[in-house]
């Protein structure tokens, strides 16, 4: 890269089924990148051995550091799944299999930040000027995009309460594998492309303010995959998607249909099961 990146963030799911050889292969491939590297876990990394190997390779699942006037925070949104496996006597492979299913119902709303990490987040931000930029990396989106696929964290409202006083917050998330943009108050969320496996958009449409991405060529395995380049212009964090196999011609989609539909907010079973 020219200029070279200040650091590389890997946003989770370096493995598919959490196997030692998968995690080690990922770490080995990334050794070629000479920039500083930081990591947060994805569910595919975690639920075979509950993060043991991931921790050995990549360290603590949440962290913070300051760089060029920005406070960077890595959140762990995957390790706090409620234990559904012990009572069912599941093997680690069975547990991992349920976590690796996009629309599975067994694992339930597993994505969460947790009270302890919320307190840590609050403490970490308390020493930061409220007008200065904050970038939060999370595997899952910090808002409710599509809960049936765990495209959310179940305690996102509490996360938002902690972040509310800060005027310049950018959440960069993975997990959804697709171009997404959403704003809640002063927090904006940017969904990153994946290096493999383009997902379709969720069946209920994309959130307001999101521009749907049209896949130009579904037959091209690189269409819809890539990575992103974050840079700072003044106090604003900007993100440029760099798609692999990028075509010359782009199609712009029309506005999302949700713009013309009234939003109905209601509490759901998931909220009642896991109060935070």
Q: Residue numbers of the site for Fe ion (CB under 5 A)?
A: 13, 42-43, 175
Residue 16 phi, psi dihedral angles, 5° rounding: -100, -50
Sheet holding 70-74, edge to edge: 63-67, 70-74, 134-138, 169-173, 187-191, 180-184
CB of 43 to Fe ion, least distance (A): 5
CA–CA distance from 179 to each of 29, 128, 227 (Å)?
25, 29, 10
CB of 194 to Fe ion, least distance (A): 9
CB of 99 to Fe ion, least distance (A): 9
| Pick 118 or 192: Cβ nearer Fe ion | 192
CA dihedral 12, 20, 79, 87 (to 10 degrees): 140
| Pick 71 or 177: Cβ nearer Fe ion | 177
Structure tokens at 123: 């403490």
| Pick 80 or 175: Cβ nearer Fe ion | 175
CB of 140 to Fe ion, least distance (A): 7
| Pick 43 or 144: Cβ nearer Fe ion | 43
CB of 224 to Fe ion, least distance (A): 16
Rg of the chain, C-alpha, whole Å:
18
CB of 42 to Fe ion, least distance (A): 4
Distance CA(204)–CA(198), nearest Å, equals 17
CB of 174 to Fe ion, least distance (A): 7
| Pick 133 or 174: Cβ nearer Fe ion | 174
| Pick 42 or 133: Cβ nearer Fe ion | 42
Tokens 């949700």, residue located = 258
| Pick 42 or 224: Cβ nearer Fe ion | 42
**Cβ atoms of 225 and 210 closer than 8 Å:** no
**Cβ atoms of 106 and 84 closer than 8 Å:** yes
Question: What distance separates the 2 farthest-apart alpha carbons in the chain?
Answer: 54
Distance CA(111)–CA(154), nearest Å, equals 6
């Amino acid at each position: 890269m020219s200029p070279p990146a200040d650091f590389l963030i890997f946003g989770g799911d370096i493995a598919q089924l959490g196997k030692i050889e998968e995690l080690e292969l990922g770490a080995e491939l990334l050794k070629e990148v000479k920039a500083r590297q930081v990591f947060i876990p994805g569910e595919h990394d975690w639920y075979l051995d509950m993060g043991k190997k991931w921790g050995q390779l990549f360290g603590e699942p949440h962290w913070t550091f300051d760089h060029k006037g920005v406070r960077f925070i890595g959140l762990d949104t995957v390790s706090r799944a409620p234990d559904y496996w012990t009572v069912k006597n599941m093997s680690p492979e069975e547990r991992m299999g349920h976590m690796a299913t996009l629309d599975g119902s067994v694992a339930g709303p597993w994505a969460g930040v947790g009270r302890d990490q919320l307190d840590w987040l609050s403490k970490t931000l308390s020493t930061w000027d409220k007008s200065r930029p904050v970038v939060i990396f999370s595997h899952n989106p910090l808002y409710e995009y599509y809960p049936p696929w765990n495209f959310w964290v179940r305690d996102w409202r509490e996360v938002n309460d902690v972040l509310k006083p800060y005027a310049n917050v950018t959440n960069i998330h993975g997990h959804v594998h697709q171009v997404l943009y959403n704003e809640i108050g002063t927090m904006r969320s940017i969904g990153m492309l994946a290096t493999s496996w383009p997902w379709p958009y969720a069946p209920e449409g994309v959130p307001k303010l999101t521009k749907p991405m049209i896949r130009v060529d579904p037959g091209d395995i690189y269409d819809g995959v890539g990575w992103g380049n974050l840079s700072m212009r003044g106090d604003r964090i900007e993100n440029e998607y760099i798609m692999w196999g990028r075509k010359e011609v782009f199609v712009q989609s029309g506005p999302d249909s949700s713009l013309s539909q009234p939003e109905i907010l209601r509490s759901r079973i998931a909220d009642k099961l896991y109060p935070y």
